[in-house]
Structure 1
Amino acid sequence: MRIRLLGGLEVTSAEGQPARFATRKSALLFAALVLAGRRGHRRERLAEGFWPGRGDAQSRNSLRQALADIRRWFPAAGDAAISIEGDQETLALTAGPDEADVWLFERKLAENGTADLAFAADLYRGDVLAGEVIPDGLDEWFGPYQIRYRQKALQLVERLSLALPKPDSANEAACERLAERLLASDPTAEPAHRALMRIHAARGHENAALRQLESCRALLKKHLGVEPEAQTQSLAVSLQARDGNRQAASTHDAAQPAQPVANPVRPHDQPSVAVMPFDNLGGADDEYFADGVVEEITAALSRVRDFFVIARQSAFTYKGRFVDVRDVGRELGVNYVVEGTVRRGGDRLRISVQLVDAETRTQLWSERYEGATEDVFEFQDRIAAQVAGAIHPAIRGAEIKLASRKPPTSQRAYDFVMRAYPNIWGRRKDTNDLAIELLKKAIAVDPAYGRAHALLAWCHASNAVFLWAENPESELEKAVAAVEAAGSIGDDPTALTAAGAALSMGGDQERAAAFIEKALALDPNNAWAWARRGWIAIYRGEAAYASQWFQRAMTLSPMDPFAFAVRLGMGYALAKAGSLSQAVAIAREVIAAHPDIITSYRYLAAWSAMEGDLETARWAAQKLMAAQPGFTIERFRLLPVFRNTPEWANQVVEGLKLAGLPER
């Protein structure tokens, strides 16, 4: 095995020498090709993703230089164990199945023997590329892989702990090491706690197992404000039943299952479904259109109250990769997967869809839809209704309430909104500005398109709150005007959420809450709306309630590339509750994973100073000023999000002053 990505990046050449790539981009490009496997990547996507904003010719030249750097270590030859192959369109890494730890990890999981699982456990040394500095923008590329393999590791530690035949085996030691590694990076990883509880119990140490439970309970309460999952508590009860001595009996009452927090755990008998990215069989320019079809089908299914529907953002982490539906089912926790293809040619449209049982891989239903391009809205609603009916025959199409959604009057306006959608998530000023321009074009074509106005409001509010604009007040005025211009959006949960989020960032928490509650009444599976409900609780001065709403959002979108915003919300809630060390830990975690999220430095500077760690606070302040030279405490303090919490705002301001940030 010459390539290690789990826990860092280590590459060995054919001569057995450590490969030292000339640039970080070359090393990360190599990692991206390893993760893609034989499927590879399109050259165009690699050039744009790794060297954005340079123009096609320059980015392709940079790609060629990086490939030359890689091939310096792995030259092409007839018997080369590792090589880069491709044509004018695609690039792929060719290597033996045991050359990369991630490939070997996947294979051992699939082989499923206890020894195989133990082997995989020792392969997992940490997150993909842990400790590597990933430049701005590329965290979006690698983030889904980091989440995916961490989830596989959590599933692995559970499977292995349940499969151990006897105590004190080498397999047990591998399981214990994996559990400890997982807890070192995330003390709230319940599968790892459960694995250690089972190992202690197998060794006859029931008291140690119950102490592990109490440690788990305390850490969950401290970091997340929740009780252990039902599975953890059920294991605790079974351990208590085995321990018949007086000490165990005296602790029995303390370890009984606590009353569950009103949070996002879905009922086991509730059908659950993920709509995967559809394959685009048209031209490259139609990629956004295919994604838009999936977006609308997901939104329509989300409105079925008897279903649990995974958010689009998590499902789209699989985009561009061949995956087994059984793996999807396990990783996302769903029973069913919807797959499909989209082909648009001229004014004609063809959509093929199938519904698959994730566990058995059995195709339950399939259909093909053909018609004019403007029929797309009717097709999307029909697909959602038929998928729902196939999964749950008792649900009639009329009960899904899809037809009340009013489509835009212009297909061209819809296209502009779909192009804007991936750019609206508040990561960078340039992508936010691009979204604003596209949304303005949609409105110019269809002035009554409510969703376009609502998303425009969100983008203007983001300009203000992230201090991307010289005049935040003007941006907030534009946001409110856009909400008013949206008109009747009462049947569109996405538009309602965007409008509510914009109003919340503008300080009108009561009206914002009304929009969000209406969105959730229509679509109880809307992860974005649950996250915004958490932020509204914070801005209202009700931070104690925020954690459960953020947890609900994470449950609905467990692999969301934008989970950093929810994590920062959790940190904010902890900071306001006085748990500054936990809040600082979350801010550090977000910065390590997403160094381009500038607002994280703002939080880290304030919270570290408030905790008394001025060294960290000043480091964060320097990073903030380097990325945002125009930042001042005065501009920040004037943001309307502090309107309902003046005492807290004053504490934050004092922290920022101690961190050394300029007041004016």
Structure 2
Amino acid sequence: MTACPNRASSTPLLPRGVRRALDAMRANVGRDWSVSELAEAAGLSSRTLQRQFREFLGKTPQAALRDIRFETARRELLQGVPDAKVMDVAQRCGFPHSGRFSVEYRRRFGETPSQTVKRQDVFADALRSMPSFTIPTRDRPTIALGPIDTGPENRDIAESIADELAIALARAGAAVVRQPGAARYHLIGAISGTDRQSRLTFRLMDAETGRHLTAYRSDGAPGHDAALDEHLATKIIAAMQPCLRLAEIDRASRKPQAELSPHDMALRAMPWVLSLNAEGNAHALDLLERAMERDPDNALATALAAWAYGQRVVYHFASTPNEDRAKSAELARKAQTLGGDATVLAILGNTFTFLHDLEAAEVMIRKALSIDGGSAWAWSRSGWLDVYNNEADSGIERLKIALDLAPDDSLAFNSMVGIGCAHFESGRYAEAAHWQQRALAEHPSATWIHRTMCPAYVLVGAETEARRSVTALREHYPDLTVSEVQRGLPPLPQSYCDRVFDALHSVGLPL
């Protein structure tokens, strides 16, 4: 899976020889490559190849091969192929000793291979149990989906996957067309090879600029199972959603002010809402208020505004929290009457949890997942709801499904926060601190994470880290008190909150 445009700048430019060596590794990941064989594939001497790998990747060719093998194995396990055996995947990816593979896999990914496989079963079961329906929405992006390019031996499989992709795109809020000239975006697919050596690839292109937005690759035979095709199609579109959303936001951002529709203004506001910081929140509300003035019934603008007002309370942006909470509730109730796609419903699910209305939040999230079973935002919020309802292990599974579906999503860090909170609720404080720290590294401006990270450090006995964490919290919120934290926290279990409040007070946060 390639990175979204906003992350592409972090991808290093590699010499041709290094790229050739990496391509050779990926094409035959199970082969026991020697340095001389890789150098021959790269068209370089062994010494030059090793020097360039150290210089441009910071690792040896053998270390890079090991990383590629683990990435390939994880991608296979995440595909959710029925009856997938960890031992078979390990051996195909060049790991003859499955026990050692499992130990290193857990160190890299924070879970065992069997846990990854089990979670795909949970996801597949959830898809099968969800009623299937779509809701018409205005201002939908149009995507041209043509036939998948393949040979005669894979023609039936290609047609089945294309049909499922069209359904998955409609559920995700896109309009699917067959004529490329009528579309903003083109989704181009191909199946190459046969059986286990086959590869399914898709590229999402911006029709106007010709820009490559993202790609998806799946190795191994797609199969002849309709349920598996649905599972695969849902995952493909879920993985592409963050980049498609960014492309729509970019399109709106490039429009002249005079041509902006209320929907465009809501799209422009979305990244500021997702920033989850005070400056972005204020900027978002300015845009959203103007959008709602022009179209009071715009579902996306109304839902985003409800969420943004709720953020002001939960993340301590507000000087008038009671007024902001009331405004959030008013807008959320109105947005409920306007309908909307899975994205709007997931946003409302977030908002109602901020308002401590878990029943309404659950209704919104169930409906969102009924429309789009691949909505990472809805899966993440369903995981948070489990955490709020004292079902920590189930919450972790659902939050990890959200991360599996869209690891590059703007809100992926918030799923990490949720996983940390679930571990905290279960008394696994070291794991809680680890996940909260990962979230903060992903989103450094979200300093409110210290509210729950600091107590985890306190309870695990990491005094230095706890002091550093509470100092960072007080530097950003100099007037913050335990009472203010209590007022802002979402509806976490009372035993959780008591531990948080006691720990924060123990390291100097005033009552």
| Structure 1 residue aligned with 2:99 | 211
RMSD: 5.0
Tell me: CA distance 1:597–1:565, structure 2 relative to 1, closer, same or farther (3 Å): same
Shift of 1:584: 1.2
Q: Indicate yes or no: 2:446 matched with 1:600.
A: no
In the TM superposition, what are the counterparts of 1:376-455 in structure 2 within 5 Å?
412-455=261-304
- The alignment partner of 2:401 has SS state of helix
Q: Indicate yes or no: 2:485 matched with 1:653.
A: no
The 8 Å contact of residues 303 and 522 in structure 1, kept in 2 or not, is answered as no
- The alignment partner of 1:652 has SS state of helix
| Structure 2 residue aligned with 1:252 | none
Separation in 1, partners of 2:457, 2:68: 25
List per-residue Cα deviations over 1:92-151 (Å, max 9, x = no partner).
Answer: xxxxxxxxx93226763346565xx5xxxxxxxxxxxxxxxxxxxxxxxxxxxxxxxxxx
The 8 Å contact of residues 103 and 112 in structure 2, kept in 1 or not, is answered as no
List per-residue Cα deviations over 1:36-88 (Å, max 9, x = no partner).
Answer: 59xxxxxxxxxxxxxxxxxxxxxxxxxxxxxxxxxxxxxxxxxxxxxxxxxxx
Shift of 1:549: 1.7
Shift of 1:603: 2.3
Code of the residue aligned with 2:507 in structure 1: it is A
The 8 Å contact of residues 225 and 547 in structure 1, kept in 2 or not, is answered as no
Shift of 1:419: 2.0
| Structure 2 residue aligned with 1:622 | 471
**Structure 2 gap ranges (5+):** 40-49, 51-58, 78-85, 128-137, 146-161, 174-186, 193-198, 219-232, 237-258
| Structure 2 residue aligned with 1:109 | 19
| Structure 1 residue aligned with 2:487 | 638
Give 1:227's match in structure 2, choosing from 104, 111, 114. Answer: 114
- The alignment partner of 1:583 has SS state of helix
| Structure 1 residue aligned with 2:63 | 177
Separation in 2, partners of 1:498, 1:631: 27
The 8 Å contact of residues 325 and 355 in structure 2, kept in 1 or not, is answered as yes
Shift of 1:472: 2.6
Normalised by the size of structure 1, how large is the TM-score? Answer: 0.50
| Structure 1 residue aligned with 2:319 | 470
Code of the residue aligned with 2:114 in structure 1: it is E
Tell me: CA distance 1:180–1:326, structure 2 relative to 1, closer, same or farther (3 Å): same
The 8 Å contact of residues 201 and 217 in structure 2, kept in 1 or not, is answered as yes
| Structure 2 residue aligned with 1:547 | 396
Give 2:205's match in structure 1, choosing from 335, 339, 342. Answer: 339
| Structure 2 residue aligned with 1:532 | 381
List per-residue Cα deviations over 1:267-317 (Å, max 9, x = no partner).
Answer: 9xxxxxxxxxxxxxxxxxxxxxxxx97x7447x9999785379989xxxxx
Normalised by the size of structure 2, how large is the TM-score? Answer: 0.63
The 8 Å contact of residues 429 and 456 in structure 2, kept in 1 or not, is answered as yes
Separation in 1, partners of 2:305, 2:288: 6
Code of the residue aligned with 1:227 in structure 2: it is S
The 8 Å contact of residues 264 and 555 in structure 1, kept in 2 or not, is answered as no
| Structure 2 residue aligned with 1:458 | 307
- The alignment partner of 2:338 has SS state of coil
Tell me: CA distance 1:111–1:641, structure 2 relative to 1, closer, same or farther (3 Å): same
Code of the residue aligned with 1:473 in structure 2: it is N
Shift of 1:451: 2.5
Shift of 1:513: 0.6
Shift of 1:416: 2.0
Tell me: CA distance 1:200–1:491, structure 2 relative to 1, closer, same or farther (3 Å): closer
In the TM superposition, what are the counterparts of 1:111-190 in structure 2 within 5 Å?
114=24, 117=25, 161-165=29-33, 174=60, 177-178=63-64
Q: Indicate yes or no: 2:470 matched with 1:609.
A: no
Give 2:122's match in structure 1, choosing from 242, 255, 262. Answer: 262
Separation in 2, partners of 1:201, 1:163: 6
Code of the residue aligned with 1:448 in structure 2: it is D
List per-residue Cα deviations over 1:559-592 (Å, max 9, x = no partner).
Answer: 2243211111122222222221122122223333
The 8 Å contact of residues 377 and 411 in structure 2, kept in 1 or not, is answered as no
Shift of 1:556: 2.5
| Structure 1 residue aligned with 2:168 | 307
Tell me: CA distance 1:486–1:560, structure 2 relative to 1, closer, same or farther (3 Å): closer
Higher helix share: 2
- The alignment partner of 1:565 has SS state of helix
- The alignment partner of 2:114 has SS state of coil
In the TM superposition, what are the counterparts of 1:246-285 in structure 2 within 5 Å?
261-263=121-123
Shift of 1:624: 1.0
Give 1:583's match in structure 2, choosing from 432, 442, 445. Answer: 432
The structure that has the greater radius of gyration is 1
Tell me: CA distance 1:494–1:303, structure 2 relative to 1, closer, same or farther (3 Å): farther
The 8 Å contact of residues 302 and 524 in structure 1, kept in 2 or not, is answered as no
Code of the residue aligned with 2:314 in structure 1: it is V
Shift of 1:463: 1.0
Separation in 2, partners of 1:200, 1:505: 44
Percent identity over paired residues:
19
**Structure 1 gap ranges (5+):** 1-31, 38-100, 118-155, 231-257, 268-291, 313-323, 344-351, 361-387, 392-409
Separation in 1, partners of 2:119, 2:266: 44
Tell me: CA distance 1:213–1:467, structure 2 relative to 1, closer, same or farther (3 Å): same
Shift of 1:339: 2.2
The 8 Å contact of residues 625 and 631 in structure 1, kept in 2 or not, is answered as yes
The 8 Å contact of residues 263 and 548 in structure 1, kept in 2 or not, is answered as no
List per-residue Cα deviations over 1:293-352 (Å, max 9, x = no partner).
Answer: 7x7447x9999785379989xxxxxxxxxxx9899x9xxx97433423459xxxxxxxx9
List per-residue Cα deviations over 1:494-551 (Å, max 9, x = no partner).
Answer: 2222222101111111111101111111122222111111111111222221122222
List per-residue Cα deviations over 1:404-454 (Å, max 9, x = no partner).
Answer: xxxxxx973223212212211143211111111111111111222232211
| Structure 2 residue aligned with 1:497 | 346
Code of the residue aligned with 1:577 in structure 2: it is S
In the TM superposition, what are the counterparts of 1:5-20 in structure 2 within 5 Å?
none
The 8 Å contact of residues 176 and 196 in structure 1, kept in 2 or not, is answered as no
Separation in 2, partners of 1:307, 1:106: 37
Separation in 1, partners of 2:323, 2:482: 19
Separation in 2, partners of 1:422, 1:200: 38
Code of the residue aligned with 1:546 in structure 2: it is G
List per-residue Cα deviations over 1:9-47 (Å, max 9, x = no partner).
Answer: xxxxxxxxxxxxxxxxxxxxxxx9x9759xxxxxxxxxx
Separation in 2, partners of 1:355, 1:570: 29
